[in-house]
């Protein structure tokens, strides 16, 4: 049985979506490698970014199901706390 999977990487100005067909038992790690997303975006490192399926964080060894959407999360530039602090500081100025 084969699975139809989407691997998605969201950038600030657009979203890259690659559809792949893989075999049952494929993990997130295998799907990301098969999608060749890391070749297109060298900033993606399996050990440094987080992954999810439909908005829920998952480990690299998570087994995918048919029609799953693997999401590659970019690291945050600021933590939510830092962002709130900067917004409050700019409002006070």
- The residue behind tokens 């830092």 is 82
- pTM for the model stands at 0.81
Number of domains the chain contains: 1
In this predicted structure, the answer to whether residue 93 has a pLDDT above a threshold of 70 is no
Output DSSP code: residue 73.
E
Q: What's the rounded mean pLDDT across residues 3-16?
A: 95
- Mean pLDDT over each residue of the chain, to the nearest integer: 92
Segment 31-75, tens digit of pLDDT: 999 999 999 999 999 998 999 999 999 999 999 999 999 999 987
What is the residue range of 44's domain? 2-92
Q: What is the CATH number of the domain that holds 66?
A: 3.10.20.30
Strands (E), 1-93: 2-10, 15-23, 50-53, 56-58, 69-73
The confidence score (pLDDT) of residue 85 equals: 84
């Amino acid at each position: 049985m084969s699975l139809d999977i989407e691997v998605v990487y969201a950038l600030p100005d657009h979203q890259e979506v690659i559809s792949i067909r893989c075999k049952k038992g494929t993990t997130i790690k295998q799907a990301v490698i098969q999608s060749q997303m890391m070749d297109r975006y060298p900033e993606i490192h399996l050990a440094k970014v987080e992954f999810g399926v439909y908005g829920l964080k998952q480990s690299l060894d998570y087994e995918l199901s048919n029609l799953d959407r693997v999401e590659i999360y970019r690291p945050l530039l600021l933590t939510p706390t830092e962002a709130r602090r900067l917004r409050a500081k700019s409002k006070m100025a």
